[in-house]
C-alpha cells in the first residue's frame, strides 16, 4: 500500500521566547497508509493533538515537512487551502462547533466553503447523514435541539460531507457511553470501507483501537516511540506498561492468566480472539488429559 | 496579536510594589491618576513622571513589557495629540494652510497631553501588572464595603468581577479551538471584504456564546449546590493587613500631591 500522508522530522515548539516554551514535537516521522485506519495513542501532553494539527496546515512545523501525496502542504497558500479540504479534521468534542440554524445547513458549511454546486452539496449532505445515521427529521432540527450523541454525529457528518481523502479524528468517542463509543467507531469503519478514505484516529480507548485500527502509533514526550500493527504494538506489553499506557483490558486478563500458570496465548486483543485463545488452551489441556 | 496586549495582565514577582497591600495600591493609584490631571505646568508633570518611573523601576517589571503595553495604545496617544495640535491656537503660528493652523501653543499642548497619557497608562497598568486579579477584586470589594450600608451588593459585584476575570483565559482558549475547527472546515477568516470577514465570524461567535451560556448555567448550578449566597460575615482565606510600607507608600503619594500643588502655585498655568 502507498503512503498518502507523512511527516518528515517535524519539530514544533509552543511559546517560543517565553518562559513557557515547550517542545511539543521533536523530530516526528509519521506515515499514514492510504485506505488504512491508523491510531495514535499516548498520554495527555505527548504531542498527539499538536501532531494532527500539522496534517491540514493549521500549524506549521519549525523544521521538517508535512507531505500529502508527496506534496509539501506548507509550500504556499494554495497547497495549504488544498490540504484543508483533502484532510478533514474532527476535533475533540466537535459538537461545540455547531452554529447554524439547522443541522442540514451546518453540514453544508464545509462543502459550501469548497465552492461546490447546490446539487452536489445536497448529495454530499445526504451521504454524510447516511453514514452517521441522521434521519431526515433530524436534519431539519436546530443542532441545539439534538441529544449529545446526535450532535456529535451531526458534527462528524459536517466533516464527512467534505469527502476528505484523509479523515483525522481526535477522540471521536470521548465522553460517550460504551455503546455510543462502539457506534461511533463502527460508523467510522463503515465510512472507511465504503469510501476507501484514510482514517487517522487519536484515542484513549485501547479496546476500540485494537478492534478497529490497522496500525498503531505510540507517542511520548513529543516523539513517536512505537509504530506497527496492533499485534506488534500491543505485544510489547511490558514496555507499554512502563510508559503507564494501558492495553486492552482483555489483554491484561490473558497476561495475568499466563502469570498464574495457564498456558494461554497473550496476543489477545479482542473478545473474539479471547474466545479462540481459551478454546485453544482448553483443547491443548484436553489433549494432555487424554 | 492578542499576545501584544499586556495592559491588564498580571506579572508575578516579589518586588516591594508587588508586596504592597492591594487596597492601598488601589487607593493610591486612583489618587495618582487624579493628581496627573491636577498638574498645570511641565514642572508639576515632570514630578509625576519621576514618580511613575520610580514606581516602574521598583516593580522590577521588564521594560520590554511596559513598552509593549504602551505600543498597543500608540494609536490613541497619536490621535489625541494630533487633535490637540489642531484644537489649540494659542502662541505663534508656525504653519498655516487652508483651515489648518499649527501654533506653538498647540505643539506644547500636544506634548503635554502625550506625557500625561503615557504617565497615566504607566501608573494604572502598574497596578494590574503587580496585583493578581483575584487580589485586586478582593481589594475593590473591601475598599467599596462602606457602600454596603447603602444596600449596594458589593460582595456580589466583586464575585461577578472575579468570575469574569477567571473565565478570560478559558474563553481565549475556546476561541482558539473553535477557530481551528471552522478553519478545518474551510472557513476563511483572513481574506475578503470587511462584510465578508464580519460574516466569517458568525461560525465562531455563535458556538462561543452558546458555550458561554452553558458554562454559566453549570457554574451557577455548582455554586448553588455548594449553598453559595451573598450572605454577610463570610470569613476569608487571606486576611489583608496594612504594614508600615503601605503607609509609606501613601506618604509618598501625599508628598507628590503636595509637590504638584506647590509647583502649580509657583509656576502658574502653562497649558
The predicted pLDDT at position A289 comes to 43
Report the number of distinct structural domains present in chain B: 2
The model's pTM: 0.75
Q: Considering only CB atoms, which chain A residues are within 8 Å of B177?
A: 91, 96
Q: Considering only CB atoms, which chain A residues are within 8 Å of B6?
A: none
Q: Considering only CB atoms, which chain B residues are within 8 Å of A81?
A: 186
**Among the partner residues A58, A88, A99, nearest to B202 by beta-carbon distance:** A99
CB neighbour list of residue B28: distance below 8 Å, 6 or more residues apart: B249, B250, B253
- Same domain? For B253 and B133 the reply is yes
The predicted pLDDT at position A290 comes to 42
- Same domain? For B137 and B17 the reply is yes
CA distance B239 to B142: 11
Pairwise CB contact (< 8 Å): B184 & A98: no
- B227: alpha, beta or left, given left = phi > 0 and alpha = psi -120 to 50? left
CB neighbour list of residue B77: distance below 8 Å, 6 or more residues apart: B70, B114, B117, B118
Where helices occur in A47-201 by DSSP H, the ranges are 48-55, 77-86, 103-113, 118-132, 136-140, 148-160, 178-195
Pairwise CB contact (< 8 Å): A144 & B188: no
- Same domain? For B16 and B103 the reply is yes
Pairwise CB contact (< 8 Å): A99 & B187: no
- B212–chain A nearest CA distance, Å: 11
Instruction: Supply the range of the domain harboring residue B212.
Output: 160-229
- A218–chain B nearest CA distance, Å: 24
Is-contact A41 A30, C-beta < 8 A? no
Rounded to two decimals, the ipTM of the complex is 0.86
| C-alpha cell, A235 | 505485544
- A99–chain B nearest CA distance, Å: 6
**Would residue B210 count as lying in a domain?**
yes
Is-contact A73 A56, C-beta < 8 A? yes
**Among the partner residues B181, B202, B206, nearest to A94 by beta-carbon distance:** B181
Q: Output the tens digit of pLDDT for each of chain B's 271 residues.
A: 445 556 667 888 888 888 888 899 999 999 999 999 888 889 899 999 999 999 999 988 888 888 887 887 888 888 888 888 877 777 777 777 776 777 888 888 888 889 999 999 889 888 888 888 888 888 888 888 888 888 888 888 888 888 887 888 888 889 999 999 999 998 887 777 888 888 888 999 999 999 999 999 999 999 999 888 776 667 777 777 888 888 998 999 999 999 999 998 888 777 6
Pairwise CB contact (< 8 Å): A58 & B184: yes
**Would residue B234 count as lying in a domain?**
no
Pairwise CB contact (< 8 Å): B188 & A113: yes
- B183–chain A nearest CA distance, Å: 8
The predicted pLDDT at position A12 comes to 94
The helix/strand/coil state of A82 is helix
The predicted pLDDT at position B85 comes to 82
**Would residue B200 count as lying in a domain?**
yes
Q: Considering only CB atoms, which chain A residues are within 8 Å of B180?
A: 53, 58, 89, 91
- Same domain? For B258 and B205 the reply is no
The predicted pLDDT at position B206 comes to 92
SS3 sequence, B180-195? HHHHHCCCCCCCCCHH
Average pLDDT over residues A124-146: 93
**Among the partner residues B181, B187, B188, nearest to A91 by beta-carbon distance:** B181
| C-alpha cell, A224 | 513517536
- Same domain? For B138 and B217 the reply is no
The helix/strand/coil state of A263 is coil
The predicted pLDDT at position B231 comes to 67
- Same domain? For B60 and B171 the reply is no
Pairwise CB contact (< 8 Å): B185 & A162: yes
**Among the partner residues A89, A113, A144, nearest to B187 by beta-carbon distance:** A113
Q: Considering only CB atoms, which chain B residues are within 8 Å of A88?
A: 184
- Same domain? For B19 and B103 the reply is yes
Closest CA to A68 of A166, A148, A156: A166
- Same domain? For B83 and B64 the reply is yes
- Same domain? For B15 and B131 the reply is yes
The predicted pLDDT at position A217 comes to 94
Pairwise CB contact (< 8 Å): A56 & B184: yes
Q: Is the pLDDT of residue A201 over 90?
A: yes
Pairwise CB contact (< 8 Å): B203 & A144: no
The predicted pLDDT at position B7 comes to 61
The predicted pLDDT at position B192 comes to 76
Average pLDDT over residues A185-194: 94
- B158–chain A nearest CA distance, Å: 30
CB neighbour list of residue B218: distance below 8 Å, 6 or more residues apart: none
Pairwise CB contact (< 8 Å): B181 & A56: no
- Same domain? For B18 and B94 the reply is yes
CB-side neighbour CA atoms (13 Å) of A99 = 20
What is the per-residue pLDDT across A11-54, written as a single tens digit (0 to 9) for each? 999 877 666 788 899 999 999 999 999 999 998 889 999 999 99
- Same domain? For B130 and B222 the reply is no
Give CA separation, B117 vs B27, B73, B82, in Å.
19, 10, 13
Q: Which of A130-139, A229-238, A262-271, B98-107 has the lowest mean pLDDT?
A: B98-107
- Same domain? For B140 and B259 the reply is yes
Residue with cell 498597543: B72
For chain A, domains (ranges, CATH) are 1-90+164-245 (3.40.50.300), 101-162 (no CATH), 248-290 (no CATH)
Q: Considering only CB atoms, which chain B residues are within 8 Å of A97?
A: 178, 181-182, 203, 207
Closest CA to A158 of A114, A202, A117: A114
Pairwise CB contact (< 8 Å): A91 & B211: no
Q: Considering only CB atoms, which chain B residues are within 8 Å of A90?
A: 184
Q: Considering only CB atoms, which chain A residues are within 8 Å of B206?
A: 99
**Among the partner residues A88, A91, A98, nearest to B177 by beta-carbon distance:** A91
CB-side neighbour CA atoms (13 Å) of B5 = 4
Pairwise CB contact (< 8 Å): A84 & B184: yes
**Among the partner residues B183, B187, B207, nearest to A98 by beta-carbon distance:** B207
CA distance B55 to B109: 26
In degrees and rounded to multiples of 5, residue B145 shows phi and psi of -60, -25
**Would residue B52 count as lying in a domain?**
yes
List residues of B whose CB lies inside 8 A of any A CB.
Answer: 177-178, 180-188, 202-203, 206-207, 210-211
Amino acid at each position: 500500500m502507498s503512503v498518502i500522508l507523512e511527516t518528515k522530522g517535524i519539530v514544533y515548539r509552543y511559546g517560543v521566547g517565553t518562559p513557557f516554551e515547550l517542545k511539543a514535537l521533536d523530530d516526528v516521522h509519521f506515515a499514514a497508509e492510504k485506505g488504512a485506519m491508523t491510531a495514535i495513542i499516548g498520554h495527555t501532553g505527548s504531542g498527539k493533538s499538536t501532531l494532527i494539527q500539522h496534517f491540514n496546515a493549521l500549524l506549521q512545523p519549525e523544521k521538517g515537512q508535512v507531505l500529502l501525496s508527496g506534496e509539501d502542504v506548507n509550500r504556499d497558500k494554495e497547497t495549504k487551502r488544498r490540504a484543508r479540504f483533502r484532510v478533514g479534521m474532527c476535533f475533540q468534542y466537535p459538537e461545540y462547533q455547531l452554529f447554524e440554524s439547522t443541522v442540514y445547513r451546518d453540514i453544508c458549511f464545509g462543502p459550501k466553503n469548497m465552492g461546490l454546486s447546490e446539487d452536489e452539496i445536497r448529495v454530499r449532505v445526504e451521504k454524510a447523514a447516511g453514514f452517521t445515521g441522521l434521519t431526515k427529521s433530524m436534519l431539519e432540527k436546530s443542532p441545539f435541539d439534538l441529544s449529545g450523541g446526535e450532535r456529535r454525529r451531526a458534527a462528524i457528518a459536517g466533516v464527512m460531507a467534505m469527502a476528505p481523502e484523509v479523515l483525522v479524528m481526535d477522540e471521536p468517542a470521548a465522553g460517550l457511553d460504551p455503546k455510543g463509543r462502539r457506534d461511533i467507531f463502527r460508523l467510522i469503519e463503515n465510512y472507511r470501507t465504503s469510501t476507501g478514505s484514510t482514517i487517522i484516529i487519536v484515542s484513549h480507548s485501547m479496546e476500540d483501537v485494537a478492534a478497529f485500527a490497522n496500525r498503531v502509533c505510540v507517542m511520548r514526550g513529543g516523539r513517536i516511540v512505537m509504530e506497527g500493527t496492533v499485534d506488534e504494538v500491543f505485544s510489547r506489553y511490558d514496555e507499554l506498561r512502563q510508559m503507564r499506557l494501558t492495553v486492552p483490558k482483555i489483554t491484561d486478563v490473558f497476561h495475568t492468566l499466563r502469570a498464574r500458570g495457564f498456558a494461554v496465548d497473550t496476543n489477545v486483543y479482542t473478545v473474539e480472539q479471547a474466545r479462540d485463545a481459551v478454546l485453544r488452551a482448553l483443547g491443548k489441556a484436553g489433549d494432555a488429559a487424554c | 496579536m492578542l499576545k501584544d496586549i499586556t495592559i491588564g495582565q498580571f506579572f508575578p514577582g516579589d518586588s516591594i510594589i508587588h508586596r504592597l497591600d492591594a487596597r492601598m495600591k488601589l487607593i493610591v493609584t486612583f489618587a495618582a491618576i487624579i493628581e496627573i490631571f491636577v498638574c498645570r505646568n511641565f514642572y508639576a508633570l515632570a514630578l509625576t513622571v519621576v514618580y511613575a518611573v520610580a514606581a516602574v523601576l521598583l516593580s522590577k517589571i521588564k521594560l520590554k513589557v511596559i513598552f509593549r503595553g504602551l505600543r498597543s495604545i500608540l494609536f490613541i496617544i497619536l490621535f489625541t495629540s494630533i487633535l490637540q495640535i489642531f484644537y489649540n491656537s494659542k502662541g505663534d503660528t508656525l504653519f498655516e494652510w487652508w483651515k489648518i493652523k499649527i501654533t506653538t501653543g498647540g505643539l506644547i499642548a500636544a506634548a503635554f497631553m502625550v506625557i500625561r497619557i503615557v504617565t497615566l497608562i504607566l501608573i494604572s497598568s502598574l497596578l494590574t501588572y503587580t496585583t493578581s486579579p483575584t487580589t485586586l477584586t478582593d481589594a475593590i470589594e473591601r475598599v467599596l464595603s462602606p457602600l454596603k450600608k447603602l444596600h449596594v451588593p458589593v460582595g456580589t459585584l466583586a464575585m461577578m468581577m472575579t468570575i469574569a476575570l477567571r473565565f478570560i483565559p478559558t474563553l481565549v482558549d475556546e476561541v482558539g479551538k473553535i477557530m481551528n475547527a471552522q478553519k478545518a472546515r474551510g472557513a476563511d477568516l483572513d481574506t475578503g471584504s470587511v462584510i465578508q470577514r464580519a460574516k466569517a465570524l458568525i461560525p465562531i461567535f455563535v458556538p462561543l456564546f452558546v458555550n458561554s451560556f452553558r458554562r454559566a448555567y453549570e457554574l451557577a448550578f455548582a455554586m448553588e449546590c455548594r449553598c453559595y449566597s451573598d450572605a454577610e460575615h463570610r470569613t476569608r482565606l487571606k486576611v489583608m493587613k496594612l504594614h508600615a510600607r503601605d503607609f509609606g507608600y501613601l506618604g509618598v503619594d501625599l508628598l507628590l500631591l503636595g509637590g504638584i500643588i506647590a509647583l502649580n502655585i509657583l509656576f502658574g498655568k502653562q497649558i
